[in-house]
Amino acid sequence: MTSQQTGAVVKRRQMSVDDYVSGVRAGDRAILARAITLIESRNPAHRSQAQEVLQALLPFSGEARRIGITGVPGVGKSTFIEAFGKMLTGAGHKVAVLAVDPSSNRTGGSILGDKTRMQELGRDPDAYIRPSPSAGTLGGVARATRETMVICEAAGFDHVLVETVGVGQSETVVAEMVDFFLVLMLPGAGDELQGIKKGVLEIADMIAVNKADGDNKSRARRAAAEYRRALEIMKPASPNWQPPVTTCSALGGDGLADILAEIERHRETLTGTGEFQKKRQNQQVRWMWSMVRERLMARFEEDEAVRALVADLEADVAGSRQTASAAADRLLQTFGLSQSPEAG
């Protein structure tokens, strides 16, 4: 029986936790994809088995480089990720590319376009590109992405690239789950400084001005100098790391090795001070609390008694017939929670 036929048999039957764990550890792509689909599922019946699978795979995760990548529109993020990923696989590494896209769904989502654009990386046997989970909320997408990261690392991927898609809070969410957060910018300093949120610069571990090729080279250098000045007046995210600013050309491959060298220097620096391990531990604890909030909110929104009141209470609040605080207390009491201390 061929491996393809074996994969088809696996898909047709119910898989046990051991099936998932052994398949992922063996690097079986069909089982890897199925394990990720299991942890992405919002079906309560799947959650128990998903958590067993994750618990069993957890000891085999944690060694990978977790790199978040964001950028302004038109910066060439997909071209960069493909070029950077190909450089890594060419050096003997295994690369997983994940996306955080709160607006995605199973019939669309920009990462499907990314898979089309990243055709070379998609065909690379040492790379794996996964569409953004369709989870309805940013919190749901973040949960699924964090857990997918664990599975990919257990499957032997030593570099996990997490891409932000769209706008909003996705940059902060990705920065919270990675070791190194790279912000890609365009040449043309002044305009781009106006267009990027200050908060994104504050969480950047490095800024790379992409498309530094041809006539853009001098503009890219000027832009880099502008970003350096901007970063100098901001408090860095780490007391042990001043975010470097560089230029690169994903199209030509220039500067990519320098970026990788800075990522390694960042890890060595923060490992030496103990900050790296502390950061990972803090991320795990914040992950736990974010899941508590997510599940409480999901239970609250699914409660039939609460749902029966929502429309009327929203109308009352919108029409100034009831205060927002009183309406919130009514919903929480209906859900079975006592009045908040500050409201009592």
Q: Could you report the per-residue pLDDT of 142-158, keeping only the tens digit for each?
A: 888 999 999 999 999 99
Written as tens digits, the pLDDT of the chain (344 aa) is 555 555 544 455 789 999 999 999 999 999 999 999 999 887 878 888 999 999 999 999 999 999 999 987 788 899 999 999 999 999 999 999 998 876 655 444 444 445 556 888 989 999 999 887 765 667 778 888 999 999 999 999 999 999 987 555 788 888 999 999 999 988 875 555 545 666 788 889 999 999 998 888 988 998 899 888 888 888 888 899 999 999 999 999 999 999 999 999 999 999 999 999 999 999 999 989 988 988 898 889 999 999 999 999 999 999 999 999 999 999 999 999 865 555 44
- Give start-end residues of each CATH 1.20.5.170 domain in the chain: 1-59
Among candidate residues 328, 177, 205, the one with its CA nearest the CA of residue 266:
205
Write out the two tokens for 280. 């990972």
Whole-structure pTM value: 0.84
Within its chain, how far is the Cα of 297 from the centroid?
21
Q: Are 181 and 215 in contact (CB under 8 A)?
A: no
- Give start-end residues of each CATH 3.40.50.300 domain in the chain: 61-273
Q: How far apart are CA 18 and CA 23, in angstroms?
A: 8
Q: Has domain 1-59 been given CATH number 1.20.1090.10?
A: no
- Phi, psi for 237 (deg, rounded to 5): -65, -30
Q: What angle is formed at CA 168 by the lines to CA 163 and CA 169, rounded to 5 degrees?
A: 70
Class of domain 61-273: alpha beta
Q: How far apart are CA 142 and CA 290, in angstroms?
A: 10
Stated as kind and residue range, the H or E segment containing 208 is strand 206-209
Q: How far apart are CA 137 and CA 297, in angstroms?
A: 11
Stated as kind and residue range, the H or E segment containing 182 is strand 180-185
Q: Which residues pair with 161 in a beta bridge?
A: 67, 97
